[in-house]
Copies of this chain bind each other. A is one copy, B any other.
Amino acid sequence: MRDVVIGIDIGGTFTKYGIIDINGHCIKENFTSTDKYSDFDIYLENLHTEIEESVSSINESIEIKGIGIGAPNGNYYTGTIQDAPNLNWKGTIPFVEKIKTYYPGIPVVLNNDANAAALGEMIYGGAKGMKDFIVITLGTGLGSGIVVNGDIVYGHDGFAGELGHINVKHRGRECGCGKLGCLETYVSATGLKRTVFKLLAERITESELRNYSFEDLTSIMVSEAAKKGDEIAIEAFELTGRILGIKLADAVACTSPEAIFLFGGLVKAGNILIEPTKKHMEENLFPIYRGKIKLLISDLHETNAAVLGASALAWKELQK
């Protein structure tokens, strides 16, 4: 009999889940739709059915000890998802309470997705043994999980760690959250695209990126163009790294971490993003921190890292 937990990562398009043992070995992994379901109860019933099918397809004897969930705007304290901009279900969704009706007696814990990534990094990734670090997730938006003294920082209301919404520019770019000038409008896959479009407007430089619509352009295309020497693409990454570096220096002044881990689709761009980020972070650090903060790329494979992180959440809860 092997003890396992179920890790669930809720994204705007897909919900990924895995059945994972204490060593982070994923016995079974699958996904289902999120955005197909406008009704949360029907979504959850389907998710439960799919998980049960996965469980029954496993050839060995397992015991489900807990469930961990990572979700945008997920609140650890209340077990709810609150006003998540990229999900169909508005208002406050009592996710933990509802899923417990399917799994009575099993500990269930929910967290925001970036906090889950931070726990994944701590338990299975490069942050093993670290007590103070930050994980920045660079996808459609920018998420952050902050660890202080070995614990996720939840703050008074359970919503700490929203570095994607710190201010870059007074009256800057419109953000989905309703504010102007938030970090994620500059530093994220979408932010990079916006920067490319700004540069295409300002410059007369030739660029292959002039051939794509905003809808069609992806951060991978920008990164490939940059590798081929496209000046607009290179400048877009340079600007993105500069803003990220400056803001990471500010985050260091808050919690003085041992390391900052970058995670997510945009990080695949590699050095073209990391080098300007590191340079501008170092330049903007309060002198006492200089040369001390490791800027690292996450060890975890992106495909299942979010699920691993969610499972880490469950294992950590079981250790309490």
Whether A163 and B255, one on each chain, are in contact in the complex, defined by CB atoms closer than 8 angstroms, is: no
Roughly how many angstroms separate A256 CA and B156 CA in the complex, as a whole number?
6
Please provide the chain A residues from 274 to 311 with a CB less than 8 Å away from any CB of chain B in the complex: 284, 286-289, 292
Roughly how many angstroms separate A83 CA and B288 CA in the complex, as a whole number?
9
Kindly state whether residue A206 has any CB partner on chain B within 8 Å.
Answer: no
Whether A255 and B153, one on each chain, are in contact in the complex, defined by CB atoms closer than 8 angstroms, is: yes
Write the chain B residue with the least CB distance to A182: B286
Kindly state whether residue A123 has any CB partner on chain B within 8 Å.
Answer: no
Out of B132, B151, B154, B156, name the residue touching A155 (CB < 8 Å). B132
Write the chain B residue with the least CB distance to A293: B156
Tell me the interface secondary structure of chain A in the complex. Answer: loop
Roughly how many angstroms separate A284 CA and B179 CA in the complex, as a whole number?
7
Given known A167-B249, A250-B166, A250-B167, contact A257–B288 (CB-CB < 8 A): no
Kindly state whether residue A65 has any CB partner on chain B within 8 Å.
Answer: no
Kindly state whether residue A44 has any CB partner on chain B within 8 Å.
Answer: no
Given known A253-B166, A255-B146, contact A288–B159 (CB-CB < 8 A): yes
- A320: shortest Cβ distance to chain B, in Å? 14
- A212: shortest Cβ distance to chain B, in Å? 30
Roughly how many angstroms separate A151 CA and B163 CA in the complex, as a whole number?
21
In the complex, chain B residues whose CB is within 8 Å of the CB of A82 = 288
Write the chain B residue with the least CB distance to A178: B287
Whether A165 and B253, one on each chain, are in contact in the complex, defined by CB atoms closer than 8 angstroms, is: yes
Count of A residues near B, CB < 8 Å? 44
Please provide the chain A residues from 217 to 258 with a CB less than 8 Å away from any CB of chain B in the complex: 246, 249-251, 253-258
- A202: shortest Cβ distance to chain B, in Å? 18
Binary per-residue interface labels of chain A (160-173) against chain B in the complex, 1 for a CB within 8 Å, 0 otherwise: 11110111001000
Whether A170 and B256, one on each chain, are in contact in the complex, defined by CB atoms closer than 8 angstroms, is: no
Roughly how many angstroms separate A155 CA and B259 CA in the complex, as a whole number?
11
Whether A257 and B156, one on each chain, are in contact in the complex, defined by CB atoms closer than 8 angstroms, is: yes
Write the chain B residue with the least CB distance to A247: B167
- A171: shortest Cβ distance to chain B, in Å? 11
A73-B288, A132-B160 known; 12 new pairs, CB 8 Å cut-off, are A148-B155, A149-B154, A153-B255, A153-B256, A157-B292, A161-B253, A161-B254, A161-B256, A162-B256, A166-B253, A177-B287, A254-B254
Which 7 A-B residue pairings sit nearest by Cβ, starting from the closest? A155-B256, A160-B256, A156-B258, A165-B286, A166-B250, A132-B156, A162-B253
